[in-house]
Structure 1
Amino acid sequence: MSGLAVVVAPDSFKGSAGAAAVAAALARGWRSARPDDVLTELPLADGGEGTLDALEAALPGCVRHHLEVPGPDGRPVGASWIVLPDGTAVAELASASGLGLLSEPLPYDAHTRGLGRVLAAALDAGATRLVVGLGGSASTDGGAGVLVELGARLLDSLGEPVRDGAHGLVEAARIDLTGLRPLPEGGVVAWTDVTAPLFGATGAAAVFGPQKGAGPDDVLALDRSLRAFADLVDVDPGTPGAGAAGGTGFGLLVWGASLVSGAAAVSEAVGLDRLVAGADLVVTGEGRFDAQTAGGKLVSWVASSARAHEVPVALVAGQVQAGTEGFVDVVSTSDLAGGAAASQAEPERWLEAAGARLAEQAGRGDAGDRAAR
């Protein structure tokens, strides 16, 4: 069997390799085993890290702007935003206020002022519509930092500005929105990778706080901070996605933004359905395939698109920690490398090996036969 049309559409392997590098490595491995197949590399993102890169790779004509902003710990970091061919400005929280910008987690002090500075710059440049990719945040500040940079004032009982980060949410007695910048004419849409509410058992602190250095007592304290912040405004904290990016989804709701699935939005923007419809096989992947994947993560969206077009879909993941029903093939780079540490130390090597493994199994008639049907 020869001449399969294969779409390689992975997310990033967070902490190891960006989506473009993942797609390229998988494609190299596949071509080493089946050089006659036609591969389309389509690196993707769901609003988190790599969103700007994925859009730039798929949409010729994007223009990137660079600036320096305060990172999640206040130190200056380089951030960027892009303008799509249709004029929409797109910002990405991870590049301005992301966890990867910290040398160590700061569960109480990290903030989102950097993202707010990026949004303000896009507005100053004349953006008439804004898209904000949420994901990979360092903070649990409810998006307060974003609002402050856009002109809001979070004040204590004496009328003084509160500290940045979650600490300030507890200190705040009121929020003054009179100076908040108006939404651009075309509105603001936030792309989220989760449907979590702001607080509670499935909220921002409980689910994502531990990833940001919060212990059990810290999670409780952060949750109380978010509840206190929600009491200051007339916005529903239970809105799906309000808990995205440490509650930044909620802060953007306060501004007047709408929240949508990042995986769905990015997939639509880059034409995923069109490419999948013409494929014999789709290969997707992420660093850790677990129970959260089904809750709006990119891999679940790619798989759903493939199945809707009756195209088989294969999975590559660093670690597989959930059931993989519905995939015609599954390869773990940790299994190939003999452990997660080895896989993460040389991600592209083991991604190439994974691509070759999938191609070999297709050549033996496993996934390949199913792809031909």
Structure 2
Amino acid sequence: MRKLHIKGLLFIALAVLTVMGVGIQTVPADAATYKTVSTQSLKTTAYHKKSTKGAVYNQSHTRKIANLKSYPNTTWYVSKKVVLRHGKTNAVYYYAVNGRHTVKGLIWHGYLKKGKAPFVLKKAKAAVAVNEETGKVVWSKHANTARPIASVSKIMTLYLVLQKIHTTSAKWSDHVKTSNKGLVAMGNSYSCGGFRFKSGHKYTVQELYYAALLDSSNNAAIALGQWVSGSNAKFINKMNAQAKHWNLGKAHFVSASGLENSDLRQFGYNYGSANANKVSAKDVAYIAQHLIQDYPQVLKDGQIGSKKVNGQTCYNYNNLLKGRKYYQANLKVDGLKTGYTPLAGYCFVGTAKKSGHNRIITVVLHDEDEFTETRSLMNYVYKNNLDK
């Protein structure tokens, strides 16, 4: 009998084990070929990933712990420089740990860049943070791009209502016409309403102000606009004129409520050729700045959790307020306005004044995590003293 070569015997053995269904875990040929040449302690320094490549390995470089692409916005804290030899080549690695101390190990130095990871908002399509006093933009993401803003539009509507109250003989107790069939139908609509105009009740400016601010009532906002200017068209022109007066180059309005014309058409309140109000995140922040500075009462009103208006509960959907799901006591959030349509997504303009800091205004547009991302943005601004 001819003797089988050792490789042939190994092949047969593997084949038999495979047929028998026995699993074999192979070890990479180079798994044990990394040798430590030197280790040097460093002053702990912040780094972040340089590209989508790279991984974190255990200290003997025999096991991958994590891929860096799974930690795109993580700051890694480096405390050691380790030189490893692989074959005839030496390579410099850093021993790093993430901020939560849940992942630690060796990362090749070429995959890291000195400095903390840039702050990002993953979900918002556009966002901004502004120093309320100076108007300085302290953080932004696509902040100059005009986008649909849904009911956030109402901060402009409410500004013009307050302007009329404070600069003319108009009073909070003035009655507003609410009998238009379109407005009544809008209030009864499941998707476009929520606040109903009841026949036989004469609604005041103040009642509709609360309905628009707290409950984001669309028919209340439109009725208030008609009260300000005499007609829906004239009021929308006034909104655009005010934006122009403030030099807001990325703001154009076709609706007092923030509803798109595709929804308003059925109620007879569509206006203009564009489908939606489009305003940049930065210009939304500047509208909010004017509202807060000129009529600061809106900050007190914006903290109201709910209010009865002619028997209907107007609920404030700002979930950063005290008692709400995303409340954080030290941020002291006291406003300002939520918004949503399928086109605009979830939008929120917020404002806060943390003790010892300046007031900031934040805006997030088309953000399904509008409250958590707003809170993250506010904390980032204050933690890094960007409000100064």
Same-fold status (TM-score > 0.5): no
| Larger proportion of helix | 1
Q: TM-score of the superposition, structure 2-length normalised?
A: 0.25
Larger radius of gyration: 2
| Larger proportion of strand | 2
User: Highest relative contact order (Cα 8 Å, sep 6+), 1 or 2?
Assistant: 1
